Amino acid sequence: MSPQAPKPTTDKPKTTWNAQTIRAMVKRRTGKRACWWQIKVALAIWAGKDIVGVAATGAGKTLSFWIPILMAQEEGLHKTIIVVTPLNLLGKQNSSLLNDGDIAAGKYSVVTISPELLNDEPCKVLWNNAKFASRLMYMVFDEGHCVSQWGQTFRNEYLHVGTIRYLLPNTIPFYVASATLPQSILRDVSEILRLRPSQLEHIIRSNDRPNINLVIRPIEHALESYNDLAFLIPEGWKEGDPPPKKFAVFMDNTTHTEAATKAIHKRLPPHLRNKIRWFHATMTNQYRDENLEAFRKGEIWGLFVTDAFGMVRLRLNSFQILINRYFLLYRALTFPT
């Protein structure tokens, strides 16, 4: 039977937490104004509930991760939270900290970890550490849809992350955050993570973005020709013209990513072909970091990418065209200038 964790609040909390006090605290600590749905998430976690939170990209889900731990700090409580992220880089950075004992010692208030590391041996030792378990306040599953979608494809470890529910005190809240959780995916996620039905709150906002236009284009040419992507470099474009609209094209594997890049290169003079590049998980972290920065600055016009790019935090105005190429159609999201 799982041990019982102490509630995040004390018998006599220093603060009566409500919308007004939370908003004032967040403003003082971060300089930001907490939205009502972020406050609802914080109050639900503070009450020990599991949360399913859906909000549009850019709506402030990340800030909602931190508000309850800030509340605990205001109460003088020494607490830790764990954020499970699909970004391998962030997860790997914590591997050495686990082995060094810094996390078990409570040195950090926030620990970001990958699903692969979550079930690794150092973490199993951590979950059995009663002192650490007593400090653990809640767990966040960022990009929560990946638990189902990626777990059933190329990151099988996601299907096993729910076993942690049996290793930790059963009162520790799980917060599943995403911009997209349709009912079929939500059912999978709830089952895999073993969310507690009697202690579960859904905080759902519209994920509609009125500045995004959805366009469907049927494939007209052979897939291997990539001629359906030729519009990304307009016919007749020549050096000296305004740069083409910035774009990112999602491909289904690394081979197609590189092949599509080379196909589009043929529409540019040789000395400008480095303006269009590929981006996938086999590239070095340095390469990916440098290319992301160049893309943000406009030094690169376009990227052909795999899902490794999908979890990167980019502002919507970082690109004007986003294409998701699957099955026999393109789904193109065009961003007005």
DSSP 233: S
Supply the mean pLDDT for the chain. Answer: 81
5 part of a folded domain: no
Could you list the residue range(s) of the whole structural domain that residue 121 is in?
A: 19-204
Same domain? For 164 and 45 the reply is yes
> Of all helices (H) and strands (E), which one includes residue 177?
strand 174-178
How far is C-alpha 294 from the geometric centre of its chain's CA atoms?
21
Question: Does the pLDDT at position 242 exceed 80?
Answer: yes
Q: What is the pLDDT of residues 77-106, one digit of tens each?
A: 999 999 988 765 444 444 444 445 556 666
Q: What pTM, to 2 d.p., does this model score?
A: 0.73
| CATH code for the domain in which residue 42 is found | 3.40.50.300
8 part of a folded domain: no
Same domain? For 224 and 148 the reply is no
4 part of a folded domain: no
Q: How far is CA 300 from CA 206, 214, 312, in A?
A: 32, 24, 16
Same domain? For 196 and 232 the reply is no
Q: What is the pLDDT of residues 271-321, one digit of tens each?
A: 999 999 998 878 887 888 888 888 888 899 999 988 767 555 555 455 677
**Can you give the pLDDT at residue 87?**
65
283 part of a folded domain: yes
Q: What is the pLDDT of residues 27-81, one digit of tens each?
A: 999 999 999 999 999 999 999 999 999 998 778 888 999 999 999 999 999 999 9
Q: Among 185, 178, 187, 147, which residue's Cα sits nearest to residue 163?
A: 147
